[in-house]
Structure 1
């Protein structure tokens, strides 16, 4: 009964795995999918919308405002009624609707500085959004190429295991006809067992890296991901690249991280000018129109509203004298913020330069390794074919044969890793150079 139950579980699990959808994606498709789904990018997009709203509001600050007010009042007791111009002691009903507008004539250019600040804040958020996209793209490239390396390593391991198994079958046949020896058979079986363990570890690494890529793409719907291998027909990309000075100049000119830091510094400098403007007088102008009604006046409501109207125009000046040092405190804290913004800009230059140096050095090292690994693999492969023939004819021992095979496989793995490291570093450097 238990065996049937276990078989049933395995059977339906197999059906589920077979029914699982498979999605095959290229590198560019993975990049687009990750950018469109990434939650941090969506947050950056929302921050950009908010920055755009703040910028628009700063522009509207140059316009006059417009206000309207009205009310209906019932008063008891004695008071002087301004509408009727008499002292009233009865219940009085009154209304005084009014519309007015105010315009700031001068405030030490505080509105200009605010608009300048909001514009730079908008640019900073825009560059931060683009930098987030670049970071996501670079992460996808790293993860994608890790999966490709795993696939190549698994291919080499599978070919090695198939080759060892074929040699084992050959040696067993030799033993069966009395021309082989059991020691060689046991040696092949031991090597096959070792390679199977290595193959399992490589498969686990592949599944781990594939999961990391799926998580970057936010593929949480159970879809199985498969990646499309890269085309290496143009081998010049593996050995040619621009000089470091050219690369660094382009990276610095196109770095969204640096552009965002610079825009933040400019925004803080504009904020400092805006805060300093609070120390100076401000001048404004206001105009308005209103009418009124009171139950103490003769005439109906409509006639009073028609006859008791008024208009006004005026100017005002506000001079700050003492506000408990709040303006000076804001100036000092904004100065510190500005200094920190300058430090952040310098740090961004340093970070971009350091990362470019590391990526470029890794690229050049991988290119050098690739050329050497290619020559090494060709030589070791030729040596292996020679020793293989000698082993099959009984002219060399098993350990020399196995050492030659191991050397060939190691050289092939080094060649694969060097090739994909070149592609990884080059693609990432191209991203930061502005070649998306």
Structure 2
């Protein structure tokens, strides 16, 4: 009786804990926010967006500015006075320039288009990773439900056997059955108690697996909710056409679309490699000014007297006189030089590739191979997707047929067990016959549960490829 009460207590505790557990939707939502693989893929998508913006900005010109402050010693030609300077001369230069590529074999355009494809691929990869993890979580979730039903089935079997043990003890006490019969039923109870422990371990292991998938630290308290799955959704499954499922998946499966974009990106990479054969035409312009410490200007003129510069021809000759002046110079001010020394330039630069040590040819050959590999990967991904859909449909169909057969078998064995149990209670059959009927029913229940959850899992795969949300 104590064993029976203990088993009932365990069963009741599990039911209470299950009412406030994790739902499938909460598990998937938690994984989307916290799974490291999903986070990494989202960061990769952000990097791809940044690279795309970089490619987009490559169409703009390069604008640069500069300044210098220097001192020249020794004899040198001053760039602003064109005079020789032998003393220390201070000079300053200021400039602003720009350079823009006008044509480079459409390299910039193809790089931008490839960057756009790469950004789309990164987003699709993140979505595909999310879907893959969601499907894995759904699988682990169903495994817990299956393990729970197996545990509950083992508990019920043990409860029935413990009740028989109590009945047989009373019958043995009054001499209605032999000690051998009592020992046989007690051995059956011990065996089923061991089976219950194994079922509990499988249930705990299934919970641990899902908790670890979610990276939950307190795995000991992790429990899922227990949705009631009484009748299978066979109506929608019977309407499923694997061909239409694949046609939908071919257009909407993130992984396959990403592979298609990778083919297009490889084509752009080939165009980029071919662009190296074309000349590059660039437009550049600049404006600058400067200051030189050697630059001087006339400050003022001071009369210094009268000088004789010659004499006239004739008789008598007369001296030719002219006033003399002192010319005073000063350093040209910084502000004036900056305004006066402005220089501007504009030009076109044409760069024609002639020989690049076969680097361009090598890059083109590599790009062609990468394109072929991308095309093969796409075809392989498409075939694998088609096989997966076909396999999921036929597995679901087989599981459904197996479930119907197992359900029919369980109904028949339940009737047979009731009949055997009634005869056993009357002492008209042996414990071996009772245990045999009971074990057959237990095995049939296990087969039915296995086929039931196998069918649910396969239909969820089909629902996923049909674009339906993963729900129970």
When the two structures are superposed, what TM-score results if normalisation uses the length of structure 2?
Answer: 0.85
* 2:374 is aligned with 1:341: yes
- CA distance in 1 between counterparts of 2:85 and 2:229 reads 99
Instruction: Name the residue aligned to 2:94.
Output: 97
Q: CA deviation at 1:55?
A: 0.7
- CA distance in 1 between counterparts of 2:407 and 2:190 reads 29
Q: CA deviation at 1:388?
A: 1.3
1:275 is aligned, of 273, 276, 289, to: 273
- CA distance in 2 between counterparts of 1:236 and 1:339 reads 44
When the two structures are superposed, what TM-score results if normalisation uses the length of structure 1?
Answer: 0.92
Instruction: Name the residue aligned to 2:324.
Output: none
Instruction: Name the residue aligned to 1:192.
Output: 189
Instruction: Name the residue aligned to 1:319.
Output: 352
Q: CA deviation at 1:87?
A: 2.1
Instruction: Name the residue aligned to 2:362.
Output: 329
- CA distance in 1 between counterparts of 2:141 and 2:229 reads 15
Instruction: Name the residue aligned to 2:415.
Output: 382
**SS of the residue 2:134 aligns to:** helix
For the 8 Å contact 1:23–1:225, the answer to whether it is kept is no
Instruction: Name the residue aligned to 2:307.
Output: none
Q: Output aligned runs, 1:296-307, within 5 Å.
A: 296-298=294-296, 299-307=332-340
Instruction: Name the residue aligned to 2:462.
Output: 429
**SS of the residue 2:84 aligns to:** strand
For the 8 Å contact 2:232–2:456, the answer to whether it is kept is no
Q: Output aligned runs, 1:171-250, within 5 Å.
A: 171-221=168-218, 224-232=221-229, 235-237=232-234, 240-250=238-248
Task: Return closer, same or farther for 1:228/1:241 CA change in 2, 3 Å cut-off.
Answer: farther
Deviation string 1:272-309 (CA, Å, 9 cap, x unpaired) is 10111011001111122111111111211111001111
Moved runs in structure 1, 4+ residues, more than 4 A? none
- CA distance in 1 between counterparts of 2:69 and 2:147 reads 80
Deviation string 1:320-343 (CA, Å, 9 cap, x unpaired) is 111211111111112111111112
Task: Return closer, same or farther for 1:311/1:106 CA change in 2, 3 Å cut-off.
Answer: same
**SS of the residue 1:226 aligns to:** coil
The two structures, once aligned, show a CA RMSD in angstroms of: 1.7
1:41 is aligned, of 33, 38, 41, to: 38
Instruction: Name the residue aligned to 2:125.
Output: 128
* 2:441 is aligned with 1:408: yes
* 2:102 is aligned with 1:69: no
1:141 is aligned, of 138, 143, 156, to: 138
Gaps of 5+ in 2: 1-16, 297-331
Instruction: Name the residue aligned to 1:106.
Output: 103
- CA distance in 2 between counterparts of 1:140 and 1:328 reads 48
Q: CA deviation at 1:119?
A: 0.8
Instruction: Name the residue aligned to 2:262.
Output: 264
Q: CA deviation at 1:397?
A: 2.6
Instruction: Name the residue aligned to 2:81.
Output: 84
For the 8 Å contact 1:116–1:270, the answer to whether it is kept is yes
Q: CA deviation at 1:39?
A: 0.7
Gaps of 5+ in 1: 1-19
Task: Return closer, same or farther for 1:92/1:304 CA change in 2, 3 Å cut-off.
Answer: same
Higher relative contact order (CA 8 A, sep 6+): 1
- CA distance in 1 between counterparts of 2:177 and 2:219 reads 51
For the 8 Å contact 1:285–1:315, the answer to whether it is kept is yes
Task: Return closer, same or farther for 1:205/1:383 CA change in 2, 3 Å cut-off.
Answer: same
**SS of the residue 1:24 aligns to:** coil
- CA distance in 1 between counterparts of 2:446 and 2:343 reads 92
- CA distance in 2 between counterparts of 1:79 and 1:352 reads 77
Q: How many residues align?
A: 416
Q: CA deviation at 1:432?
A: 2.8
- My pick for the range that moved more, 363-372 or 200-209, is 200-209
Task: Return closer, same or farther for 1:43/1:182 CA change in 2, 3 Å cut-off.
Answer: same
- CA distance in 2 between counterparts of 1:338 and 1:393 reads 80
Instruction: Name the residue aligned to 1:12.
Output: none
For the 8 Å contact 2:208–2:219, the answer to whether it is kept is no
Q: Quick check: which has more Rg, 1 or 2?
A: 2
Deviation string 1:358-409 (CA, Å, 9 cap, x unpaired) is 2222211111111111111111111211221122122333222222111111
**SS of the residue 1:228 aligns to:** coil
For the 8 Å contact 2:177–2:427, the answer to whether it is kept is no
Q: CA deviation at 1:97?
A: 0.5
For the 8 Å contact 1:255–1:433, the answer to whether it is kept is no
Structure number with higher helix proportion: 1
- My pick for the range that moved more, 192-201 or 229-238, is 229-238
